[in-house]
Chains A and B, each alone.
Chain A
Amino acid sequence: MVGWEHAIGNYHLQEDQFLSDLVAALAFQITHSEVYRFLCTRQNFSPTRDLRQVDDLARVPYITSNAFKVSRRIYERLLTISPDEVTYWTSSSGTMGDRSLVGRTATEMAAYRRAYRAGFLEFAGTDAFDESLLFFPDPAQVIGRGAKLRQGTTEPFGIFIGLEAGDVRESASRHYLPEWDADRQQFAVNGPALFQRLRYLDAAAKTVYLGGAPAIMESILRQHQDTGEAFSFGGRCKVQFGSGGWEVVQKLLGVSKECVKLEFVHRLCDILRIGESSLVDDSYGATETAGALMGHFSPSYGDFLFHQPPWMRVIVRNPQTLAPVTEPGERGLLELVMPYGASSYAGVAILMDDVAELVTHHSCPECGRAGLSIRILGRAVEAAGLSPGCGAIIGD
């Protein structure tokens, strides 16, 4: 088992340390997960023999994010611990109709919360805000209320992320805005109340953090459409997206998928008078991995550029050959490799069903951060299993 405390959030983590932790984590998983051992044997892979340098990473056998889907009936076999030792069965939202379940203990929960926290702080700065307006459902209303599964409980993975975003000086200044609208069967924000609060914060020259799902944050646009009201926060406001839902925004704006992020960021900047779109970030993560990628908005790309933190490696695999892409602009399937926070399940190398584009290997052309940068272009698989065909399972 590999500890994570020395690594997650450590921006000085050395490559040698990462590599030796990776070898140890893989050896642990091979020993404790029968299916991962089978996969490594089938691919003739031994971490101690085959993993000598970071360039060897692409050889590490990956598990797909789809493997954790409930319908595939493998998620328990992917554990490295007994299913009865699982404290939290973290679940995805199941927007595609089939949720993932990943068995974690308190150690893994702490690791992924730390990974998100490190990312949020790195991009938002460590100074606490006067007020955080969070477009996440209130975790206190959700955590601990999931169904019992064996000795643990099922918990939505994303809800814990809301606990780590937007540090404030006083806890009373954190506000979770969405409320469950039983009629519409979705979370919604009270637009007039939100604008009233923003009006006060703006007039009082407070620093404000807005964080959460674009799908819920679109309430700012709706309220602006109704009232035309705008603010003048300038550099006093930071926006960090998380949890996705861009398709909801796309529908509201009536623009193409290519343009939705640029359009949404511009409109938010206009309404809040943020001035610089570089004050808007996005985060990427998934139930199946402990890692999170943070990205800042790039006006020239009209998209977010995500950066690889030192405790994680990103591989973009060519969709035909599965070899890592090497040229900026090449697109492929996104793989996340992280030896930390996956001691309870075979989750060190996860091949996502998302498509990414390599922007640069070395330093970000815009913010100068070292290491690999990517864009994340969206889902590769419309539905696990069948692709749309005349006998497809997709219904619309």
Chain B
Amino acid sequence: METYVLNPFGLDSIRGEERQIVEHGPIAFRLYAALPEEITGAAVRLKALNEPAHARPLGRNIEALHQAGLLWSDPSYPSRQEALKVLPILSHLSLAMVEREMEEMCRLLHRETLYRWIERELGSVQMMESWQENGDFLTHRQPRGLIFHNLSGNAFLLPALCIIFGLLTQNTTLLKMATAEPYFGVRFAESLREVSPEIASDVAVLYWSARDEACYHALFRQGLGAAVAWGDLRTVQTVSALAGQYRTRFIDHGARFGIAVIDRITRQELPQVVQALARDIVPWEGYACISPPFIFVVEGEVKALEFAEALLASMESMREESDFQASFSRNSATIANREYYFFHLEAEGRGKVLTSGTLGSTVVYSESPPTLKDLEFCAGQMVMVCRATELESVYSALVNNGLGTHCQAAAFYGKGKTFLDRLTFAGISHITKPGDLNAKEVGFSHDGLFNLQELTRLVTRSRL
């Protein structure tokens, strides 16, 4: 078993001796779980850097990020080579998908993209650096200070994004890595240090157990500019409770999911729509939080069951082209989740479990709308196609079954474009065409939160 040592990033020195071994299939990490007093020390150091970080021209941060992007674009960069070995294991994505995500990150780090991002979210770089005319007032954006990101799950670009958010908003950043993916944040911060040790010192990437309450209190006690919770419900609850206790601004990036709404398509349109949706699902193996677990099909010429069968065929055909090998964990979950729907839907005559191959894709056809409970079981290569009689019943399902508040992006195809307003009113933040759900564009938000805005304060003054 290959073991990678992950040293904490941003600690002056390590006091404890214990290293924790976290295994992920054929690889393992030796992690250092930071002690509460070390976390306090890191927070004190970062808070002391808030003023210098604010005083530094934003252009320098952008340039450092651009240079880090050039490093990661270089096929001979040792950290990139290592990451391409490690990340397919951690993320369960194929190597091709990891490479695609890596390219996406490098594109994001390009200076032109970073400037465009700031312009779309904040108006201009100048808005961060000085007072700007705004009618009768002057406006300005101020950093919030030390930002804490509590990560969970295995989306490996997320820690890099959190560091980027911090540097684009002149904040300092402390990341708590997840056991499921303790790796990439450390390597990304190390790449930043290669480019600019000064700018990298605005960042700390640490690990401690999510159950270690003393560590959290040690951090929050120092006074944070904001606390951001990513991922699962338990993390969100933990961080929000602490934020309430210490009166810290709380940003909820908790788990959200995508949906697709297909409105009365013709048989002629069917192949292109299912192919596009398969693109939103298969390459991601259902992990990306914007892959839609639920697809509502408003019946017209094409019935929902026929749609489900066509989607399954399309997913399977796309799957054959991928090099994905499901883990034991995924297969075991697939077997158990199929069984759940055999008993809860098919045995009761309320739907059908459509499968291809022994453990290939699964499409669950349901005559009823999904509930939050279904979110627990529709994961991986499983999607649920729900029969709908009209668009308004989709709206009702989102609102009445409590799904709307957990939704983020939706893919829409069909005639009823006036329904798009209802969709966003029900909770959807971003609407795309099928096939584009995972497209990343700066200035758009997949979950309704605009991070550069969230991590800065818009301040105003009158003309004095």
Task: List residues of A whose CB falls within 8 A of some B CB.
Answer: 34-35, 38-39, 42, 63-64, 66-67, 71-74, 77, 250-251, 254-258, 319-322, 331, 333, 351, 353, 355, 380-382, 384-396
Contact = CB atoms under 8 A, between A and B. Distances in A.
Given A254-B21, A353-B336, A391 B343 contact: no
Contacts of B210: 395-396
A63 B339 CA distance: 8
Contact of B376 (A63, A257, A258, A385): A385
Nearest to B208: A396
B158 A256 contact: no
A58 to B, nearest CB: 12
Nearest to B179: A396
Interface stretch (B130-138, B311-319, B327-335, B411-419): B327-335
Contact of B331 (A35, A63, A258, A319): A319
Interface in B376-432: 376-377, 379-380
A9 to B, nearest CB: 31
B28 interface: yes
A38 B342 contact: yes
A387 B379 contact: yes
A384 B373 CA distance: 13
Nearest to B408: A391
B232 A392 contact: yes
A355 B18 CA distance: 29
B178 interface: yes
Nearest to B156: A390
Given A333-B332, A387-B329, 7 more contacts: A38-B346, A353-B332, A389-B92, A389-B155, A390-B155, A391-B232, A392-B154
Contacts of A382: 329
A187 B396 CA distance: 49
A322 B209 CA distance: 36
A385 B339 contact: no
A334 B209 CA distance: 31
A319 B334 CA distance: 11
Interface string B227-244: 000111111001000000
Interface string B152-174: 11110010000000000000000
A320 B326 contact: yes
A42 B342 contact: yes
B329 A254 contact: no
Interface in B340-367: 340, 342-344, 346-347, 358-359
Interface in B41-97: 92
B128 interface: no
B376 A351 contact: no
8 contacts: A250-B21, A251-B20, A256-B28, A385-B333, A387-B92, A391-B231, A392-B232, A396-B211
A334 to B, nearest CB: 10
**Residue among A42, A71, A320, A322 with max Cβ neighbours from chain B (10 Å):** A320
B153 A64 contact: no
Nearest to A77: B343
Nearest to B293: A391
A249 to B, nearest CB: 13
Nearest to A392: B153
B226 interface: no
B211 A385 contact: no
Contacts of A321: 358-359
A390 B231 contact: yes
Contacts of A73: 344
A381 B336 CA distance: 10
B158 A390 contact: yes
Contacts of A394: 152-153, 180, 232
B120 interface: no
Interface in B272-298: 286-289
B359 A322 contact: yes
B152 A387 contact: no
B328 A319 contact: yes
Interface string B216-258: 0000000000000011111100100000000000000001110
B329 to A, nearest CB: 5
B23 interface: yes
A351 B333 contact: no
Contacts of B337: 385
Contacts of A258: 1, 23
B267 interface: no
B19 interface: yes
Contacts of B231: 390-392, 395
Contact of B328 (A39, A71, A380): A380
A320 B357 CA distance: 9
A66 B331 CA distance: 13
Nearest to A37: B347
A84 to B, nearest CB: 21
A202 B88 CA distance: 53
A128 B428 CA distance: 68
Nearest to A385: B376
Contacts of B343: 35, 38, 67, 74, 77
B339 A66 contact: yes
Lowest 6 A-B CB distances belong to which pairs?
A390-B155, A391-B255, A66-B336, A395-B234, A391-B289, A380-B328
Contact of B379 (A71, A355, A389): A389
**Residue among A258, A387, A390, A393 with max Cβ neighbours from chain B (10 Å):** A390
B229 to A, nearest CB: 10
Contacts of B288: 389-390
Nearest to A74: B343
Contacts of B336: 64, 66-67, 353, 381, 384
B342 A396 contact: no
Nearest to B21: A256
B359 A393 contact: no
Contacts of B286: 389
Contacts of B340: 66-67, 72, 74
B57 to A, nearest CB: 33
B379 A386 contact: yes
Contacts of B158: 390
Given A322-B358, A381-B332, A254 B153 contact: no
Contacts of A77: 343
Contacts of A333: 328, 331-332, 335
B180 A392 contact: yes
A286 to B, nearest CB: 14
Contacts of B287: 387, 389-390
B153 A320 contact: no
A351 B335 contact: yes
B289 A389 contact: yes
B154 A388 contact: yes
Interface in B171-198: 178-180
Given A74-B340, A319-B331, A381-B329, A392 B358 contact: no
B300 to A, nearest CB: 31
Contacts of B20: 251, 254
A350 B342 CA distance: 16
Nearest to B284: A389
Contacts of A392: 152-154, 180, 231-232, 255
B376 A386 contact: yes
